[in-house]
Amino acid sequence: MSVNGSTQTDFYTDRASRNPESSEMTPLLGNRSVQPRTTGASFASSVFNLMNAIMGSGILGLAYAMAGTGIVGFCTLLVLVAFLAAFSLHLLLKLCDETGINSYEGLGEKALQKPGKVLRSMSSYLFILKSELPAAICSLLGVENTGTAWYENGKLLLVMITVLVVLPLSLLPKIGFLGYTSSISFIFILYFTVVVVVKKWSIPCPLPQNGTRLRGTFEVSNSSASDCTPKLFVISVKSAYAIPTMAFSFLCHTAILPIYCELQRPSKSKMQNISNIGIGLSFLLYFISALFGYLTFYGHVKSELLLGYDYYLLGDIMVMSVRVAILLSVLLT
């Protein structure tokens, strides 16, 4: 909805017609009728909030996407998607500047009338908790997942986490407070990337024969050394499955305007810088984790990267801790 109603919209429409070359430093929602802000989110916390909206459980599937497209093919697609995301955010901010509307739903209604207001994007990030959280708890307890204990019930854990953690966070009156949880989430993603890089040298290539689970030692199979050669370009059926994963890698458009609304001294150029930095840092973490995940398993990388580590490094402390870190990161997203 518009922060200033139809009067604000008319103001911006009239201003845009008189001054089409408006300054990039002009506040997007600047109007004397708007009460001045006493507090707001800092530049750093806004970047963390945006990165938190961008990154989630999808990072686990990027190594699989690289295996399906090749290193150069993956990098090309990732650059393209990042550029399109940055440009679309620029258009979103410009549209907000022209109309005075500061909500994603409001812009949808402005563009497509009533149907545009009810069209919403859905997130499936929490569903990874259903499958990963029971496995993480069993790994930490050192017990087999028999499906009989309450903590092995993914549906029960999902409901508990949603009610006890996600719901209170979603009821916070201001998104600026989430900058703290977003920074923690960023640290977890960074830790995940570091572990992926370090564990590259913990698993030999060729992989252990028949995927045998081993503790500390490996029986190397007689497979060809070509299995350990990275491919620059790959065109196969798997390539088609990689495209949807790449397309949603930088999906954060519903969060950009709420982040702007609580920014200290907001302006279009400042918000664009936040968008560029957030997308750039996310791109860096995406590429590093995908590259080293791919160079660890090559063509045998799992669609969910951590499953491969569990298979070959059973009981590894770093793998168990990074699994918990990813779950917490998804929880705080």
Per-residue pLDDT at 3 exceeds 50: no
Looking at residue 312, what is its pLDDT? 77
Tens digit of each residue's pLDDT (9 = 90 or more) over 64-118:
889 889 999 999 999 999 999 899 888 888 888 777 777 666 776 666 666 555 5
Mean pLDDT over 320-324 rounds to: 85
3-state secondary structure the chain: CECCHHHHHHHHHHHHHHCCCCCCCCCCCCCCCCCCCCCCECHHHHHHHHHHHHCCHHHHHHHHHHHHHCHHHHHHHHHHHHHHHHHHHHHHHHHHHHHCECCHHHHHHHHHHHHHHHCCCCCCCCHHHHHHHHHHHHHHHCCCCCCCCHHHCHHHHHHHHHHHHHHHHHCCCCHHHHHHHHHHHHHHHHHHHHHHHHHHHCCCCCCEHHHCCCCCCCCECCCCHHHHCCCCCCCCHHHHHHHHHHHCCCCCHHHHHHHHHCECCCCHHHHHHHHHHHHHHHHHHHHHHHHHHHHHHHHHCCCCHHHHHHHHCCCCHHHHHHHHHHHHHHHCC
Per-residue pLDDT at 268 exceeds 60: yes
Per-residue pLDDT at 18 exceeds 80: no
Structurally, how many domains does the chain consist of? 1
Residue pair 199/318 in contact (Cβ under 8 Å)? The answer is yes
Residue 104 lies in a domain: no
Least reliable range by pLDDT among 91-100, 163-172, 293-302, 308-317:
163-172
Residue 300 lies in a domain: yes
Residue 319 lies in a domain: yes
Residue 119 lies in a domain: no
Looking at residue 179, what is its pLDDT? 59
pTM, full prediction: 0.71
Least reliable range by pLDDT among 2-11, 294-303, 307-316:
2-11
Per-residue pLDDT at 331 exceeds 90: no
What percent of the chain lies above the pLDDT cut of 90? 14
Looking at residue 15, what is its pLDDT? 45
- Give the range with max mean pLDDT: 112-126, 131-145, 161-175, 312-326: 312-326
Per-residue pLDDT at 306 exceeds 80: yes
- Mean pLDDT value across the chain: 74
As a whole number of angstroms, the distance between CA 26 and CA 24 comes to: 6
- Domain range for 152 is 42-89+126-331
Least reliable range by pLDDT among 3-17, 184-198, 310-324:
3-17
C-alpha dihedral sign at 208, 311, 319, 127: positive
Looking at residue 108, what is its pLDDT? 67
Least reliable range by pLDDT among 24-28, 148-152, 207-211:
24-28
Looking at residue 215, what is its pLDDT? 45
Per-residue pLDDT at 29 exceeds 60: no
Looking at residue 126, what is its pLDDT? 64
pLDDT level of residue 13 (50, 70, 90 thresholds): very low
Residue 142 lies in a domain: yes
What percent of the chain lies above the pLDDT cut of 70? 68
Residue 20 lies in a domain: no
Residue 164 lies in a domain: yes
Residue 106 lies in a domain: no
